[in-house]
Amino acid sequence: MRRTRRESHLVLALVAMANPSTTCHSPSAPKPSITHVIFDMDGLLLDTEKFYTEVQEIILSRFNKTFDWSLKAKMMGKKSIEAARVFVEETGISDSLTAEDFLVEREAMLQHVFPTSELMPGASHLILHLHKNGIPMSIATGTHKRHFQLKTQQHGELFSLMHHIVLGDDPEVKQGKPSPDIFLTAAKRFEDAWLELHNVLVFEDAPSGVAAAKNAGMSVVMVPDPRLDSSHHRIADQVLSSLLDFNPTDWGLPPFDEVSA
């Protein structure tokens, strides 16, 4: 059902009145009614960011350096080679280890741990709810196909509920996040002529991903790692500490069924 902007504002106001415990963190602007949802994957649906952190800590310890969250924030959500360049340059090890060699070394370690990837809290509940209510969903992840298969091998059933999945090595994705490329590609592949970008809701954990979604003209719920500096929260439309805290009615989406919640 399409609503005019005025009707949408009215609905949101009524929802807010009926639900005073809403977890909206957004300042002032009323939220658009959402018709389509796009998820990031690493650190948002899957608890995989920890693998990258652990492996990078091991590599840096060889150079007597430590890995901190300001560097992590710059790397998250970027294409692998872009993130690798940031890593070797910002840590000052680029004379000893090239971005390409870093990726080869990291790869060997990651291959072992990716198949153990687990879902983030609330991910399954939210995806099943949106699917049950006919909300089209997609994933837009910087992860390449090879890693995607390893990370999702225990979660095939849940990921099959996506209308489509756009990966980082998709030929249409020219630039990684914060470029809007991947989200615009994901929006286009819904093949809904009536889709409007401002009615698309993105779920992201990474600053570059939040920026990419905003650059694409979409709304963003950010679910950041608690160690991420809060200065990175600013441009998100809503910030939650967990997907478990998401309230669909904040966004004009059908409420959770209390019995199954």
Known catalytic residues are 40, 42
Query: How far apart are the C-alpha atoms of 156 and 169, rounded to whole Å?
Result: 20
Nearer to Mg ion (CB atom), residue 60 or residue 212: 212
Q: Which stretch binds Mg ion (CB under 5 A): 131-139, 200-208, 215-223, 226-234?
A: 200-208
Nearer to Mg ion (CB atom), residue 15 or residue 223: 223
Nearest distance from residue 228's CB to Mg ion, in Å? 11
Nearest distance from residue 45's CB to Mg ion, in Å? 9
Beta-carbon contacts of residue 128 (< 8 Å; ≥ 6 apart): 158, 161
Nearest distance from residue 83's CB to Mg ion, in Å? 11
Instruction: By CB under 5 A, name the one of 12, 33, 43, 183 that touches Mg ion.
Output: 43
Per rule CB under 5 A, is residue 42 in the interface with Mg ion? Answer: yes
Nearest distance from residue 143's CB to Mg ion, in Å? 9
Using DSSP's 3-state secondary structure scheme, residue 240 falls into coil
8 Å CB contact between 126 and 254: no
Query: How far apart are the C-alpha atoms of 139 and 149, rounded to whole Å?
Result: 14
Per rule CB under 5 A, is residue 75 in the interface with Mg ion? Answer: no
Query: How far apart are the C-alpha atoms of 170 and 218, rounded to whole Å?
Result: 21
103: phi then psi, degrees, rounded to nearest 5: -65, -40
Query: How far apart are the C-alpha atoms of 87 and 93, rounded to whole Å?
Result: 8
Per rule CB under 5 A, is residue 178 in the interface with Mg ion? Answer: no
Instruction: By CB under 5 A, name the one of 15, 206, 212, 222 that touches Mg ion.
Output: 206
Partner residues linked to 220 by β-bridges:
202
Q: Which stretch binds Mg ion (CB under 5 A): 20-28, 32-40, 81-89, 225-233?
A: 32-40
Per rule CB under 5 A, is residue 205 in the interface with Mg ion? Answer: yes
Nearest distance from residue 19's CB to Mg ion, in Å? 28
Query: What own/partner pairs with CB < 8 Å and gap ≥ 24 does 168-172 have?
Result: 168/79, 168/80, 168/141, 168/142, 168/143, 168/144, 169/144, 169/145
Instruction: By CB under 5 A, name the one of 31, 34, 36, 40 that touches Mg ion.
Output: 40
8 Å CB contact between 159 and 152: yes
Nearer to Mg ion (CB atom), residue 43 or residue 136: 43
Query: How far apart are the C-alpha atoms of 123 and 242, rounded to whole Å?
Result: 9
Beta-carbon contacts of residue 246 (< 8 Å; ≥ 6 apart): 23, 122, 126, 221, 240
Partner residues linked to 140 by β-bridges:
166
Nearer to Mg ion (CB atom), residue 196 or residue 225: 225
Nearest distance from residue 177's CB to Mg ion, in Å? 9
Per rule CB under 5 A, is residue 222 in the interface with Mg ion? Answer: no
Nearer to Mg ion (CB atom), residue 40 or residue 170: 40
Binding site for Mg ion (CB under 5 A): 40, 42-44, 205-206
